[in-house]
């Protein structure tokens, strides 16, 4: 059994939202309006949002945060669903939501600790990322991780291998080891 995950290196994210676009193109979720997230028909299985600037330990910090299903080992959303519409595929570890079984009670939305399940008022159903399940079972990778990220900060694979994948990036390896060096920009006026 594999335990597939997608991991975003948020510190490296530029906020281009190419992963959001790839998700939308692949899954064509309900009407999605990136500029109006308050629209009840707007939803996406993956979203990128700005976190900052804010003061952290005396310095300004800005990070792009990615909201997506974490495909938990023991998903609280599955436990909360009274109809058994959410299950974990034993072969891949992917948490799936069967929209045919969903009765729209929203208990899964409330149970998700990552705010990664959406409720669509138009059809009365919940929806979530399924890691492009049909792609994965056919040997492909999810659309969001399919080399669309300009910053190359999206990783997909078996959970036990992702840490090594991240460490293999040469510039990231230097950053983690503290050997990247520094760059000083001097502005003369």
Residue 31 has pLDDT above 70, yes or no: no
Share of the chain above pLDDT 90, in %: 57
Q: What is the mean pLDDT of the chain?
A: 84
20-24 — which CB contacts under 8 Å span 24+ positions? 20/44, 20/46, 20/47, 20/48, 20/144, 21/148, 22/143, 22/144, 22/146, 22/148, 23/129, 23/143, 23/144
Residue 97 has pLDDT above 60, yes or no: yes
pLDDT of residue 160: 87
pLDDT tens, 159-172? 888 888 877 776 65
Mean pLDDT of 75-99: 96
Give strand pairing partners of 126: 119
Give SS3 for 65.
strand
Q: For the whole prediction, is pTM greater than 0.85?
A: no
Question: Which domains can be identified in the chain, with CATH numbers?
Answer: 4-177 (3.30.70.20)
Angle 28-31-33 from CA coordinates, rounded to 5° = 110
Distant-in-sequence, close-in-space partners of 10: CB < 8 Å, separation ≥ 6: 63, 64, 65, 66, 153
pLDDT of residue 122: 78
Note whether 7 and 141 are within 8 A (CB): no
Residue 103 has pLDDT above 70, yes or no: yes
119-122 — which CB contacts under 8 Å span 24+ positions? 119/43, 120/30, 120/40, 120/41, 120/43, 121/40, 121/41, 122/30, 122/31, 122/40, 122/41
Exposed e or buried b per residue across 87-97, where buried means at least 16 C-beta atoms within 10 angstroms of its C-beta? ebbeebbbbbb
Least confident of 10-14, 18-22, 31-35, 151-155: 31-35
Mean pLDDT of 60-70: 93
Residue 133 has pLDDT above 90, yes or no: yes
Give residue 129's Cα distance to chain centre.
8
> pLDDT-derived band of residue 183, with 50, 70 and 90 as boundaries?
very low
> pLDDT-derived band of residue 35, with 50, 70 and 90 as boundaries?
very low
pLDDT of residue 15: 93
């Amino acid at each position: 059994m594999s335990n597939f995950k997608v991991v975003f290196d948020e510190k490296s994210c530029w906020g281009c939202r190419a992963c959001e676009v790839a998700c939308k193109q692949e899954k064509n979720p309900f009407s999605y309006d990136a500029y109006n997230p308050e629209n009840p028909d707007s939803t996406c299985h993956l979203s990128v949002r700005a976190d900052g600037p804010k003061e952290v330990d005396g310095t300004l910090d800005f990070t792009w945060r990615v909201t997506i299903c974490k495909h938990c080992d023991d998903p609280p959303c599955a436990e909360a669903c009274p109809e058994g519409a959410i299950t974990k595929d034993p072969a891949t570890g992917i948490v799936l939501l069967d929209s045919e079984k969903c009765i729209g009670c929203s208990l899964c939305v409330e149970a998700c600790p990552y705010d990664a399940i959406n409720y669509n008022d138009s059809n009365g159903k919940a929806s979530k990322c399924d890691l492009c399940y049909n792609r994965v079972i056919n040997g492909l990778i999810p659309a969001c991780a399919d080399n669309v990220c300009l910053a190359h900060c999206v990783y997909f694979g078996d959970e036990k291998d992702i840490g090594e994948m991240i460490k293999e990036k040469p510039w990231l390896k230097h950053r983690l080891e503290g050997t990247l060096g520094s760059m000083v920009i001097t502005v003369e006026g």
